[in-house]
Amino acid sequence: MLASAAAQAQSVALVVERFDPGTAAVDPAALINGANDRDFVAQAYAAVTPARDHAVWYRIRLAADWASEGPPVLAIFDPQGLDATVYLPPDHVEVRHSIYAADANAGFTRHALMFDLPAGLKASAPIYLKIKPDKAVPRRVEITPMLDALVRDLGRARLDVLFPSVQVATLLVMLCFFLALRERMYLYFVGHVVFVVLYELYQFGVGYEYAPFDLLAPLGGRAVLLTAAISIVLMIEFSRQFLELVRYAPRLDRLLGFGRWPFAALAVLAALPALLPDWMVEYALAALLLALAPLLLGAGLLTWQQGSRRGGFFLGAWIPGLLLVILRALQLILHWPLPVWLEFALPAGFAYASLVLAYGLADHTLSIRHERDVAHRLAEHDALTGVLNRRAILARLRAGFLQARETEEPLSLLFLDLDHFKQVNDTYGHHVGDQCLRALVGPILSEMRQGDALGRYGGEEFLVVLPGAAAANAEVVAERIRKRVEDMALLVSGRRIGVTLSIGIAALDADVLTPNDLIERADAALYRSKSGGRNRISTHPEAEGLGGETAFESSN
């Protein structure tokens, strides 16, 4: 889109001459009238380059008379930090532009300083340009038809909105994650993206135009430096936590922890213009970024090599972006002109990094959920058999008891005991006894309904909670379980070991006041099954009541 728009912009050949008076005063009227004509030196390229500590002058002419339809415009690109005064022909009216002014570039974005020129501009009518002190980086200039400039500028305006919009969407999602999990890492990421978006708004010039961002307009280009420095501080903190550097690379973690302070100091300097000139703060920021980028990439690589998924996400997110940051820093330090593609590649890299890191954070959130589920399962389930443990099965019984009382629905409880378990342990060893306990689970579960619960009560004893089942239904389920276990073949060292269950059944009625009453009734019924020869089921008679506490001991 941008390339096609640029192709339509038909700039014309220019003659660009430079006059550097040093610190000497220059009278604009005398200069325009020819007093300094011999001081202008022709350039081989169409660009203006500021001096760091004094103003410089340029004289720009068309190589041939303007022949295109429509009026021309003069564009000066990469306008950050530029304060330009243009003396326009034919009367050399003084027009001063800066992207930080509220009325700058009416009708255009602030990717360039735009000056309207007369429609019949002649090659013999020079344009005089005064550039105030700034970093000594060449800024491309061109004269092009206004319509072509507007078409190209529309493409830039769309990109101005696209990249920040992507990042705002990711930060809103991550903000929700932070509010749900209260983990500082998410907040650092959100803060980093917020200041990256602000950096882009000021870099594109949009921030100087609209409230409330225009509150930083008095800082001029320092608003870009301020937001960039703060975003880097937050990115360092996010990176340390996201990569778990305390665990994987403690020395590197300490180094990055120290490395955030120079950027914090630059943020303070950017907010206080009286302390250092803009170009010095900008060069310091670029130099620090050249040192930081390899450290961050090394941190991601180190954690990834140690098996961290987060290291992989970090590298995937930041390799393109940090390489672009390095290129941008070199462009500033080495005084290269800013290529058009780099102007938009950098925010595109930031948007891409935000998306990939947001995906990495979502993956981290899923891993937290998985770990929580595993911990919850371990806390509720018996390590040997995998069924609910004593605490969990009693909790299910209490919940079923309360619901049955509230809805007046039936509830039954099965108390299961593995017959001759002590004999199995004594004869074959405890490892075979453990095999028997594990082998019981499958047959029991196969006869249970959805919503029923099985738990190990202790030793070889199990409870089965049957919500919605009356005594008669519970007897059917219990008999199926007993028969399934009896038919089960358990082979140990080539020998078949017979396994049977004794089962006691208790159903909820008006005399059952607590879940423990139900357990006592089921245990009493189990005792009758044991006393009656084992491998059988018994139901607690409704007329029989048991008081006091029951000692739960195996009959084996």
pLDDT digits (tens, 9 = 90+) for 335-352: 888 888 888 899 999 999
Mean pLDDT, rounded, for 312-323: 93
Q: Give the model's confidence band at 98: pLDDT under 50 very low, under 70 low, under 90 confident, else very high.
A: confident
Which residue would you say has higher pLDDT here, 277 or 57? 57
Contact predicate 466/411, CB 8 Å: yes
CATH of domain 2-150: 2.60.40.2380
Q: Do 2-150 and 154-373 come out as alike in CATH topology?
A: no
* DSSP code, position 381: B
* DSSP code, position 122: -
Return d(Cα 374, Cα 299) in angstroms, integer: 30
Contact predicate 170/355, CB 8 Å: yes
Identify the bridge partners of residue 14 per DSSP, sorted by sequence position.
Answer: 62
* DSSP code, position 449: P
Structure tokens at 315: 């590298």
Mean pLDDT, rounded, for 270-282: 89
Please provide residue 489's backbone torsions phi and psi, each rounded to the nearest 5 degrees. Answer: -105, 120
Angle among Cα 487, 492, 497 to the nearest 5 degrees reads: 35
Contact predicate 118/126, CB 8 Å: no
In what helix (H) or strand (E) does residue 5 lie, and over which residues does it extend? helix 2-8
Answer yes or no: is pLDDT of 195 > 90.
Answer: yes
Return d(Cα 343, Cα 140) in angstroms, integer: 13
Locate the domains of the chain by residue range: 2-150, 154-373, 390-539
Residue 208: its pLDDT value, please? Answer: 84
Token pair 């595109």 is found at 348
Contact predicate 540/504, CB 8 Å: yes
The stretches of 131-221 forming alpha helices (DSSP H) are: 146-181, 184-204
Mean pLDDT, rounded, for 367-373: 74
Rg (CA), the chain: 40
Maximum pairwise Cα distance, the chain: 126
Share of the chain above pLDDT 90, in %: 47
Annotation: CATH topology of 154-373: Rhopdopsin 7-helix transmembrane proteins (1.20.1070)
Return d(Cα 209, Cα 321) in angstroms, integer: 27
pLDDT tens-digit profile of 121-164? 999 999 999 999 888 899 999 999 998 889 988 888 888 888 88
Mean pLDDT, rounded, for 382-408: 90
What is the CATH architecture assignment of 390-539? 2-Layer Sandwich (3.30)
- Strands of 227-340, DSSP E: none
Return d(Cα 520, Cα 262) in angstroms, integer: 71
Which residue would you say has higher pLDDT here, 427 or 507? 507
Strand order in the sheet with 453-458: 453-458, 461-467, 411-418, 501-507, 537-539
pTM for the model stands at 0.70
Residue 273: its pLDDT value, please? Answer: 87
The span from the first CA to the last CA of the chain, in angstroms, equals 83
The single-letter code of the amino acid at 39 is D
